Structure 1
Amino acid sequence: MSEVADSGRSDLAGLSRQERLEQLRRRMAAVPARGESVAARPVPQPAEDQGRPQPAGSAGILPVPPALASLLPRGGLTRGSVVSVSGAGSLLLGLLASVTEAGGHAAVIGLPRLGLLAATEMGAELGRLALIPDPGQDPVEVAAVLLDGLDLVVLGLGGLAVPPSRARAVVARARSKGSTLVVTDGHWDGAEVRLEARVCGYDGMGQGAELGRGRLRALRLAVSARGRSFQPRTTRLDLRPVRGRVEWTAETVRQPGVFPEAVSL
């Protein structure tokens, strides 16, 4: 995985589009064996086997923080789908942490300011995470290449809107490869699920005359999910340290005199 991560260095910037793609394809050979992943990718079935019950472990779901599972119809991110994520960056970090902690491999494209410390505090395994902060002029093509070998690919669009015809081609590739594509910071037509997180409160920053002083001890989020196959859903969550790591929990009301650990979210 370290060689794939190296593809995010500035050496890609001086190459042509074809040269960048060739380098990425070569580095894909360094991705660890699929046996280390969260679950085996679905293998295309012969026509005569279509519709038959599949063996355990082929459900095709990537894990999410447990507190978010109730928002999604299948309790996680469906393999082969495209998910749009917007709002507070903690949501994206939580998805990356859940997948890599469970043994999956992920890549992040076009997000140079990704909070790796916060992701690690949520349980992310950085050895299973490839970073490509500067993908060049065609980040969508880079994402399409990486879908061939990873469980989760996160694509930062930098405010761009992807044409529907291009989006459909990448969706088809994600579906055929059994990878999940998460898009953020832009518009992607036809995403199956749209997740949005909004910061709605803090804990530990003082009250009254002391408002804004102190150490951040918890971050409160309102997270909503919308999709083509289910009604909109919303939940409120706390991100707070529990025994040395940041956990996603159902929103709680702090009792007077009880002070949780400090957190660097």
Structure 2
Amino acid sequence: MGSDALSPDQGTLDELRRRMAAIPGRGESASGRIPREQRFRRDMLPVPAPLVDLLPDGGLPKGAVIAYSGAHSLLTGLLAEVTAHGGHAAVIGLPRLGLLAAAEMGAQLSRLAVIADPGPDPAEVAAVLLDGLDLVVLGLGGLAVPPARCRVLAARARNRGATLVVAGGEWTNPSLRLDSRVTGYRGLGPGRGRLRSVCLDVRVSAKAGPPRHGHIDLCARPGRTEWQTRETVRVAEVPALHEAVS
């Protein structure tokens, strides 16, 4: 599918369906060269390592809807992890989400579709993409999705075994709520020093059990960006971190 952006005047929902028909089965790569140990669990999508202990089952449940709020960096990390492990994903209505940042987190951009401008009904675009992708990230732009439509899309995700992450709006009765906020930065030099890491506080709320909290850092390394738990972060002399936290 590739990382090329689509907009309403470039393609219709029928065009999306046509292009999705060429995508390999969920969790598979076009070349078949993803190592077995890196392929998906039957019921979970992979996530950045520091999130594993925060999520009730150690990953994003397939067929579930996750309501997200907070920094774009964590959304970028989810997309990167899924595509790096052979899956196919799409991001809808989030034009500021950076592909460079995703690539530095390990994303395979050939498996990521970007629909920056989905038109007046982004939920309909998401419904089409749920038919053939592993992960769909939907930016709602402040919209509140009616409860009846939430139920329809949740049922579609469940029936297709795809995971839907909704951000920047209101969604009724998601399977999980995932919230992050930037709490600080680390770098060299005052004022205009280079940014070395971004500090995030993360909260996961499931339908059952108490919320879980964690502290995660997004750290620059030579040629890549890594996720680490707060306690293991060490600031090193490495290139500056690209913007991924808006």
- TM (norm. structure 1) is 0.82
Aligned partners of 1:7 and 1:24 also within 8 Å: no
Partner of 1:52: none
Mapped partners of 1:230, 1:123: distance in 2: 32
For residue 106 of structure 2, the aligned residue among 123, 140, 146 is: 123
Question: Which structure shows the higher helix fraction?
Answer: 1
- Does 1:143 pair with 2:126? yes
Which of 1 and 2 has greater Rg? 1
Map 1:153-168 to 2 at 5 A: 153-168=136-151
Give the RMSD, CA atoms, in angstroms: 2.3
Map 1:171-210 to 2 at 5 A: 171-204=154-187, 206=189, 210=190
- Does 1:237 pair with 2:235? no
Q: For residue 9 of structure 2, give the secondary structure of its aligned residue in structure 1.
A: helix
Offset of 1:252 from its aligned partner? 3.5
Q: Give the letter for the 1:8 counterpart.
A: L
Offset of 1:132 from its aligned partner? 0.8
Aligned partners of 2:90 and 2:136 also within 8 Å: yes
Q: 1:100 to 1:58 in 2, by over 3 A?
A: closer
Q: 1:260 to 1:250 in 2, by over 3 A?
A: farther
Mapped partners of 1:252, 1:140: distance in 2: 39
Map 1:1-265 to 2 at 5 A: 1-2=1-2, 8-12=6-10, 20-34=12-26, 36=28, 59-204=42-187, 206=189, 210=190, 212-252=191-231, 259-261=236-238, 262-265=240-243
Partner of 1:51: none
Partner of 1:45: none
Q: Give the letter for the 1:9 counterpart.
A: S
Unaligned runs of 5+ in 1: 38-56
Partner of 2:36: none
Aligned partners of 2:8 and 2:119 also within 8 Å: no
- TM (norm. structure 2) is 0.88
Deviations 1:83-108 (A, max 9, x none): 01111110100100110001100011
Mapped partners of 1:244, 1:7: distance in 2: 25
Mapped partners of 1:162, 1:201: distance in 2: 32
Q: Give the letter for the 1:68 counterpart.
A: L
Q: For residue 204 of structure 1, give the secondary structure of its aligned residue in structure 2.
A: strand
